[in-house]
Structure 1
Amino acid sequence: MAARKNILFIINPISGGKNKVDIPAAINRYLDKEVFNPDIKFTEFGGHASALAEAALAGDTEIVVAAGGDGTINEVACMVLKYKKTLGILPLGSGNGLARFLEIPTDLQKAIALLNKQQTKNIDSGHLCGKPFFNLAGMGFDAHVSAIFAKDKSRGLFGYIRLGLAEVLSYKPQEYLIEIDGKQFTRKAYAISIANSSQYGNDVIVSPYASVTDGFLDVCIIKSFPLIKLPMLVFVMIKRTAKKSNLIEIIQGKQIKITREKEAAVHVDGEPLHMSADLEAGIVEQSLKVIVSLWERKLIIHKKRN
């Protein structure tokens, strides 16, 4: 009989604004103990997931499972990337953008069952000024709201929407000089998302044909628009028609440079950071090994992007 694999579950107790006290019991109930030797830890502060993951991966732990949202996944995945081991995901955040793209069930029992199958895929990772991301990075309005949301006591999707609606009336579009694989563009934009996968979360799709296995990033430019068109912008993202919309311009590339008016907030997988006016992004192909689901259908869909 093969030796059991050491697997660590890192649970973010505040992600998604949901109580996580029952998660360890579910793990112990549904995880295959003949295959895995599990350990479970809760994060206690920002950056703790990264520290817990590194301590485990530097030893004999083979798989670390991020139980939280995209920010928790980012912390854990950065360490998995460093030690070249395997990432698992239990989607427990507000939006679960990367997990939804990978078709990892939001139902906890089904997500744990997926871990038991150990079906893995190497996916691309992006980087923004040296900071890895796996779903989306961005600047402009969504980064501005993320920075405010991080300081707010409310959590979850509705807290984010409330803050966004409060800020949307006062936020002004910015001028950006964008260089993508040597080609230059000047755009006035409300926001710019650099997409490795297709969505922000909650199936809000900013780049319908983006794929974490195609070796490219999609630069999604949300153009300056009158606020009366905001419902239309939301509609095209929900209906997955952003590629056809005149509100969003999508340019594919590998090496990206962006100069904005001034230093300001950015977000990396939803987590806010403060960066300079000059930004660089790129992609590292097939660099992260992750437990996934239903990949054959997903890959066929995303071959149709062009």
Structure 2
Amino acid sequence: MAKKRIQFLINPISGGRKKKGFEQSARKFLNAHLYEAEFKVTEHAQHASDLARKAIKEGVDLLVAVGGDGTINEIAKELLHTAIPLAIIPEGSGNGLARYLQISSDLSTAINKINAGHVSTIDSGLVNGKAFFNVAGMGFDALISNRFAENLTRGPVGYLKIVLQEISRYRPQSYTLNIDGKILNREAFMISIANSPQYGNNAYIAPGATADDGLLDVCIIKQFPLLQFPVMIYHLFSRTAHQSEYVEIIKGKHIVIERETAGPVHLDGEPLELDRKLTIDVLPSSLKVVC
């Protein structure tokens, strides 16, 4: 039987961890009887997307994202509605999607999943035509994603430091939401759109979300007193965000959100500027993943 062509796309700076020696370690665990492997290192933002498109044209059978949710996003958006699966080696700051898919951050365990070759299909989401696979958001978390992208300190410590710097001066915005025809007017600290349950690092914003139900979880976080911040953190890490009086979660397929001004949005933690009006849709069963 012919070997399958597998290509590892490696983000060398994800998660603040160097990837020197990754290829040698990966080859040690990868089943060489099944796979003919190539390893490529990304050099700039969106380079993983460029490499993925090239790999698809060259007939690669499997692409592996070596990085975090942002790296996964760059590669997965090129694989939407194709027969080529995505595998993940979690090497990011939060690894939200990998944690949901129960992919270990231990290299040998993650590669053993690739050797086993079990493939599932998950949903994805679109915000104004741009894909996300874990969580998208606006408001405070989009601001933090913007600051985090500029920060030299990666990982949870760097993220928490920025949160503490910004939280006391951030002001909520007014939003009008249309969720499958239901109109809501809300003043919100932030709004997250969850395809899977957590941001990463086991912080669960949408404990009831699943990535294969054909729905997105719209999580509206209302302004809360600063003294309640530790309680909100507790809710995230105890998977009880839905029990907070400051959190409202509504499932939907087609969501339109109008906000006060155009501004930052994040898709899987990667910030970008989008229009005042955001049209969000679920793409059911649109991505094949090894898990």
The TM-score, its normalising length taken from structure 2, stands at 0.98
In the aligned structure 1, how far is the partner of 2:57 from the partner of 2:250? 38
| 1:58, distance to aligned residue in structure 2 (A) | 1.2
Counterparts of 1:13 and 1:40, CA distance in 2: 12
Residue 208 of structure 1 corresponds to: 207
* Structure 1: distance between partners of 2:3 and 2:80: 22
Corresponding residue for residue 135 of structure 1: 134
Correspondence 1:154-233 to 2 at 5 A: 154-233=153-232
- Name the structure 2 match of 1:46: 45
| Aligned counterparts of 1:83 and 1:241: Cα–Cα separation in 2 | 36
Q: Which moved more, 1:71-80 or 1:17-26?
A: 17-26
Asked if structure 2 preserves the Cα contact closer than 8 Å seen for 1:264 and 1:274, the reply is yes
> Corresponding residue for 2:87?
88
Name the SS for the 2:80 alignment partner.
Answer: helix
Q: Are residues 71 and 87 of structure 1, via their aligned partners in 2, closer, same or farther at CA, if it must alter by over 3 Å?
A: same
Cα-Cα RMSD = 0.9
User: Structure 1: how far apart are the matches of 2:179 and 2:94?
Assistant: 28
What amino acid is the match of 2:201? N
Matches within 5 A, 1:253-268: 253-268=252-267
In structure 2, how many angstroms separate the alpha carbons of the residues matched to 1:174 and 1:291? 39
- Distance in 1 (CA, whole Å) between partners of 2:172 and 2:10 is 37
| Structure 1: gaps (5+ residues) | 293-306
Q: Which amino acid aligns with 1:103?
A: Q
How big is the shift at 1:26?
1.4
Instruction: Kindly indicate whether the alpha-carbon contact (under 8 Å) linking 1:69 and 1:96 is maintained by their aligned counterparts in 2.
Output: yes
Return the alpha-carbon distance in structure 2 between the equivalents of residues 67 and 251 of structure 1: 33
What do residues 217-259 of structure 1 show as CA deviations (whole Å, max 9, x unaligned)?
0000111111110111110110001122212100000000001
Aligned to 1:124: 123
Q: What SS does the corresponding residue of 2:271 show, helix, strand or coil?
A: strand
Tell me the SS of whatever aligns to 2:141: helix
Is 1:273 aligned to 2:272, yes or no? yes
Aligned to 1:246: 245
Tell me if the contact between 2:257 and 2:278 (Cα under 8 Å) persists in the aligned partners. Answer: yes
**Corresponding position of 1:5:** 4
Counterparts in 2 of 1:283 and 1:123: CA distance versus 1, 3 Å: same
Residues 26-76 of structure 1, C-alpha deviation per residue, up to 9 Å, x if partnerless? 111000000000000111100101101110111120110000000000001
Deviation at 1:82, TM superposition (A): 5.5
Amino acid aligned to 1:149: F
SS where residue 172 of structure 1 aligns?
Answer: coil
Whole-Å Cα distance in 1 between the matches of residues 163 and 259 of structure 2?
Answer: 22
Q: Distance in 1 between matches of 2:83 and 2:167?
A: 41
Q: Whole-Å Cα distance in 2 between the matches of residues 13 and 138 of structure 1? A: 26
- Paired residues in the alignment total 291
Separation in structure 1 between the aligned mates of residue 242 and residue 153 of structure 2, nearest angstrom: 33
Secondary structure at 2:28 match in 1 = helix
CA contact (8 A) 1:57 1:83 kept: no
The separation in 2 between residues aligned to 1:65 and 1:157, in whole angstroms, is 24
Aligned amino acid, residue 242 of structure 2: K
**Shift in Å at residue 154 of structure 1?**
2.2
The Cα of 1:22 is off from its aligned counterpart by 2.3
**Where in structure 1 do 4 or more consecutive aligned residues deviate above 3 Å?**
none
Which deviates the most, 217-226 or 154-163?
154-163
Partners of 1:284 and 1:146 in 2: CA distance: 24
